Structure 1
Amino acid sequence: MHPVFISGIGTGIGKTLVSAIVTEALQADYWKPVQAGFDDGTDTGWIQERISNSKTIFHKEEYKLALPASPHIAAKEENVRISLDVIAEAYKALPATNEYVVIEGAGGIFVPLNEDEFVIDLIAKLRAKVVLVSRNYLGSINHSILTAEACKARNLDVAGWIFNDQYMHYENEIARWSGYPSLGSVPFTENPDKAFVQQQAVILRSALQNAL
């Protein structure tokens, strides 16, 4: 399977919604290797409720941590150390059921997974193609360009941006400044249900297939 890693410019920017849309568009498998906090359910469960196709397989989290905090802190609470080697071995052991597996990260690319390594290190270790998610808020241009610069510094293979929420006129500027293309924009909705995910998947499918 080809790994497609969904990351972005921070926390609360819509990575899980975009992960659902990309999963549906590609009829890919889905994997969230590190889940921190699940009182309101897991990201895997949320996406599972919104996928319409019958091909997607949902793989079990490698680390499922109770505390809704930075993964390295949540892990310490349970006397666990998140190991990138363990995650990489778990990835290799995933059954090759579909052409793509969508891997959802935690927070932004510099969220720490342990005392030494970050999400960006996991992306590199998995040799995954990256889809970056950006959301419209004051400061998002700065956060988007900083994220892009970090990806370039680590020589990550970035497919492009998916913009989330109501953008004004600067998503094309972010794409131009970053050097990474826009794959599309997901409009704001108060009800990101199965029908919405399916609709957006149809819209983004061609751009995703061409970029990946």
Structure 2
Amino acid sequence: MNKKLFVTGIGTGIGKTIVSAILTEALQADYWKPVQSGDLDRSDSELVKSLTSGNIIIHQERYQLELAASPHQSAKKENIEIKLTDFSLPVTSNHLIVEGAGGLFVPLNEKDFMLDVIQHLNLHAVVVSTNYLGCINHTLLTIEALKNRGILIDLFVFNGEFDEDTHQIILKHLPEDIEKIYLPKIHLLTKENLQKIAVTIRKKYI
């Protein structure tokens, strides 16, 4: 059965796109970023395309917004109304990796959040966490929010190095049946290095 996974994170700039690229390569999946807000000339879709195999299918974003800001703010500036009902999964017979914008409570409009997109599309989640002051709080809030919506977490990604105390407290509060993935810090981000990690992930976890 094909996997359709939504990659979210505990905040912005914590490695969702790189994790999405690794999972896309490991699964030989399609990739879709529903909302790109800012950086249209060097989008997340373009980055994933540059780091993965040539046969990977990258689906068009539903919304491409020019301002590098929260989607609701970017859309408002362009007189665009983002509607939850506008989001539907791309038609594919492959695995599919869907990447969110920012964290779960990034607003799309005055009432809907990125969290609502996951629920609307009926997807399981991949949660990406990285180590910084406050990451425990942000991680546990993310897990609790998904749990409260009845959204299942398929994978939890420890992205980079964690001190042992932080690692253990997060582990203690993760459901035991969630698969955990440990990704090393990528010092030189190249296609070759990412694909080596993807091979390891494929062998160990998939």
Q: Does TM, scored on the shorter chain, surpass 0.5? A: yes
1:132 matches 2:127: yes
Matching residue's letter, 2:91: P
Question: For residue 117 of structure 2, what is the aligned residue in structure 1?
Answer: 122
Correspondence 1:192 to 2:193: no
Deviation string, structure 1 residues 152-183 (Cα, Å, up to 9, x no partner): 11110111211112212233431321326352
1:26-175 mapped onto 2 (5 Å cutoff): 26-38=27-39, 41-52=42-53, 54=55, 56-88=56-88, 91=89, 94-98=90-94, 100-169=95-164, 170-175=166-171
Q: CA deviation at 1:52?
A: 2.3
Q: Percent identity?
A: 43
Q: 2:169, 2:28 → 1: CA distance?
A: 30
Q: Can you give the 5+ residue segments of structure 2 that lack an aligned partner in the other structure?
A: none
Contact 2:40 2:65 in 1 (8 A): no
Corresponding residue of 2:12: 11
Please tell me the residue identity of whatever aligns with 2:78: E
Superimposed CA distance per residue, residues 47-89 of structure 1 (whole angstroms, 9 cap, x where no aligned partner): 10000262x210001100000000100000100011111112x
Q: Contact 1:24–1:53 at 8 Å: present in 2 too?
A: no
Query: Does 174-183 or 20-29 show the bigger shift?
Result: 174-183
Residue equivalent to 1:176: 172
Q: 1:29 to 1:37 in 2, by over 3 A?
A: same
- The RMSD of aligned alpha carbons is 1.6
How much does 1:208 deviate?
Answer: 4.4
1:8-61 Cα deviation digits (max 9, x unpaired): 10000000000000000100000001000015510000010000262x210001
TM-score for the superposition, normalised by structure 2: 0.92
**Aligned residues of 2:40 and 2:64 also touching (Cα < 8 A):** no
Rounded Cα–Cα distance in structure 1 between residues aligned with 2:107 and 2:154: 23
CA distance in 2, matches of 1:183, 1:172: 13
Is this contact kept in 2: 1:65–1:74, CA < 8 A? yes
8 Å CA contact retained: 1:129, 1:159: yes
Q: What CA distance in whole angstroms lies between the structure 2 residues aligned with 1:188 and 1:59?
A: 28
Task: Identify unmatched segments of 5+ residues in structure 1.
Answer: none
Shift of 1:189: 2.2
2:204 aligned with 1:204: no
Structure 2 CA distance for aligned equivalents of residues 147 and 208 of structure 1: 22
Segments ≥4 residues shifted beyond 6 Å: none
CA distance in structure 1 between the partners assigned to 2:45 and 2:187 by the alignment: 20
